[in-house]
Structures are given as structure tokens and as C-alpha cells.
Amino acid sequence: MAATEPTVLPDVDYRHPLPVRVWHWANAVGVLALLFTGFLVFDIHPHLYWGDDGHEGMPAFLSLTGTGLELPVPQTDLAIGDHHWNVTGWLGSVIDDGFGGHYLLAFSAPADWDFGATRGWHFAFGWLLSSSLLLYGVYLLASGRLRHRLLPVPRDLTLRNIGHEIAQHLRLRRTRGAAARDYNLLQKLSYLVVIFGLIPALILSGLTLSNAITAQFPDLFLLFGGRQSARSIHFIAASLLFLFILIHVFQVLVSGFFNLMRSMITGRFVVEKESLT
């Protein structure tokens, strides 16, 4: 058992080499700025469609609409497919347009928000996200870190281990001892999905919204099933990434906040001794 040999192993691991830490924080800044500006862009047309054509009056599979916007308490309705929810007070913020009319935003925006700049910032941070992902991807492959740290090893994939990990996660049990030196299977899989699935899907579906890009690469329309489908997938992937961040931050909070933060800032991670109590 690993617990019987803690004296053989050093207490501190140099867990995250510099490229990992630089990427992590560059990516964190990029993703947060993109989520913020992206949801503000969504705000202005809170409807999701499928195919190429999509505008007001066309069937949307997700839609936020408001009624009685001029009333003291306007009603807002969230529709997903055929299901409707009255989300008054939860989603939907009504803003005076300055011309005597009112309109609905999904979330509230700053009073002096300028939409044009929001969109511009979204692209600016898109460069940060995509260039840092590209560099990190090269690093992961070239350094062998992908194989050594992220790809599951055979012992991860035994039924017994999978069941054990799920139980440990559900009980919010902190990993200690030798097992804490490596990422566990669920951790590996979620990082792989984010790095090789969600972020690339976000970049590609975002590029599909550009007329100039699709002029050169029309197959992007085939890949995503149309312009509006690409926009919808962009928002769905962004929502999943947001969900990942919530879980990620929660786990950092419950699994030793200072140790984990230190490891992502200085690289050094203290391996806690396994306790049997």
C-alpha cells in the first residue's frame, strides 16, 4: 500500500511546469472575458435556431421573449422546444431604449454598454484563447505531457477504479498519498474534453460565423450544419465550458484551495499523507 511508504517519497511535487501555468492563466483570462462578452452578445438576440436562416418570426428551439415590456413588472418567458417557463425575475431584464420604447435583454447589461465594442473585445480575446491553445497543444505533444499526465493509463480504466473514483467524487473525498500525484480518471477526461473538444469546437463554430472565413472554408457550414447551427453550438459549448469552470472552481475550493493555487502559481504541490482515519 502506498500509505506504508510515505517516507520514501518527497512531500512536494513540482507539479506544473511553467508552460502549463502560463497557459492556465492566459486561458483563464481569455475564457472569462469571452464568456462575459459572449453572453452580452447573446443578450441582444436571445434566440437559438438550427440551419442557415434564423431571425425573429422563425422557429427557434430556445427563445427568451418578453411581454408587457412597458409595464412595471414585464413577464418573461423562456421556451426550449415546446416547453415554456415563466422566468420573470430570474432571466430577462427590460431596458429603456432612450427613444420611448423598451426591449428585453436576457441578462442585465451596464447602462452605458456599447454593443459594437463588446463584439470587438470578443474577437480580441478570441485571439488570446486560440493562440494560447495552439501553443499549449504543441507543448503537450512535444513534451510528452499529453501521454504522461492526461491520457488515461490501463489501471485508470478498470471498472473497480471507475466505481471508486465516482464514489470518492460524490463524497467529496480529497485524494491523498501517492494517488494525489497523478490526475484521476475523471480529471483527465474532463481536461481532455475541454482542451481537445470544447475549446476547439468554440473556435471553429465561432469562425463559421465569419463570412470571409467561410468563403475560404465553406466546409465549415457542412461541419456544423449551417450558420445558425454553428451559432447555437457555439452557445451550447460555451455553456458547457461555463459549467466546467463552476465544477473546476468548486473542486479547487474543496480539495485544498491554497495548495492547488500555489501549485498553479509556483508549480509546487504538497502531497498530503494518506490518512486512514
Partner 1 sequence: MTDLMSRRRLIGGLAASGSWLAACGRIDQQAPVPQLLDAADGFTLHAQRLLIANRPLVRELSPAQISSSFPMNGTTLPKADYYKRLLDTQFRDWSLRVHGLVERPLGLSLAQLQALPSRTQITLHQCDEGWSAIGQWTGVPLAQVLALSGLAKSARYVVFHCLDKIDLDGNYYYESLDLFDALHPQTILAYGMNGKPLPVGNGAPLRLRVETQIGYKNAKYVDRIEVVNSLQSIGKGRGGWWEDFDHAVWYAGQ
The whole-angstrom separation of Cα 184 and Cα 235 is: 29
Distance, first Cα to last Cα, the chain: 15
Instruction: Report if residue 54 touches partner 1, rule: CB under 8 A.
Output: yes
Instruction: Report if residue 266 touches partner 1, rule: CB under 8 A.
Output: no
230-259 residues near partner 1, rule: CB under 8 A: 231
Helix, strand, or coil (residue 119): helix
Q: Are 152 and 189 in contact (CB under 8 A)?
A: yes
Give CA separation, 189 vs 103, 109, 194, 246, in Å. Answer: 42, 35, 9, 16
Choices 51-59, 70-78, 132-140, 162-170 (CB under 8 A): range interacting with partner 1? 51-59
Compute the least distance from the CB of residue 62 to partner 1, in Å: 12
Instruction: Report if residue 215 touches partner 1, rule: CB under 8 A.
Output: yes
* CA quadruple 178, 184, 268, 145: dihedral sign: positive
Compute the least distance from the CB of residue 75 to partner 1, in Å: 18
The whole-angstrom separation of Cα 199 and Cα 11 is: 34
Compute the least distance from the CB of residue 35 to partner 1, in Å: 16
Instruction: Report if residue 82 touches partner 1, rule: CB under 8 A.
Output: no
Q: Are 227 and 208 in contact (CB under 8 A)?
A: yes
Output 200-205 pairs: Cβ under 8 A, ≥24 positions apart.
200/133, 201/233, 201/237, 202/34, 202/129, 202/234, 202/237, 202/238, 202/241, 203/126, 203/129, 203/130, 203/133, 205/230, 205/231, 205/233, 205/234, 205/237
Pick one of 120, 134, 172, 257: the residue that binds partner 1 (CB under 8 A): 120
Pick one of 113, 139, 191, 244: the residue that binds partner 1 (CB under 8 A): 113
User: Which residue in 65, 31, 69 sits closest to 45, CA to CA?
Assistant: 65
Pick one of 10, 17, 89, 218: the residue that binds partner 1 (CB under 8 A): 218
Pick one of 114, 148, 153, 167: the residue that binds partner 1 (CB under 8 A): 114
Instruction: Report if residue 148 touches partner 1, rule: CB under 8 A.
Output: no
Pick one of 31, 185, 195, 227: the residue that binds partner 1 (CB under 8 A): 227
Choices 41-49, 183-191, 247-255, 257-265 (CB under 8 A): range interacting with partner 1? 41-49
Q: Are 234 and 206 in contact (CB under 8 A)?
A: yes
Show Cβ contacts of residue 107 under 8 Å, excluding neighbours closer than 6 positions.
39, 40, 43, 91, 93
Query: By CB under 8 A, how many residues form the interface with partner 1?
Result: 48
Choices 47-55, 141-149, 191-199, 260-268 (CB under 8 A): range interacting with partner 1? 47-55
Instruction: Report if residue 73 touches partner 1, rule: CB under 8 A.
Output: no
Instruction: Report if residue 16 touches partner 1, rule: CB under 8 A.
Output: no
Instruction: Report if residue 119 touches partner 1, rule: CB under 8 A.
Output: yes
Instruction: Report if residue 47 touches partner 1, rule: CB under 8 A.
Output: yes
The whole-angstrom separation of Cα 227 and Cα 218 is: 11
The whole-angstrom separation of Cα 121 and Cα 220 is: 23
Choices 42-50, 133-141, 148-156, 267-275 (CB under 8 A): range interacting with partner 1? 42-50
Interface residues with partner 1 (CB under 8 A) are 41-42, 44-45, 47, 52-57, 95-99, 101, 103, 109-117, 119-121, 123-124, 127, 206-207, 209-216, 218, 221, 227-228, 231
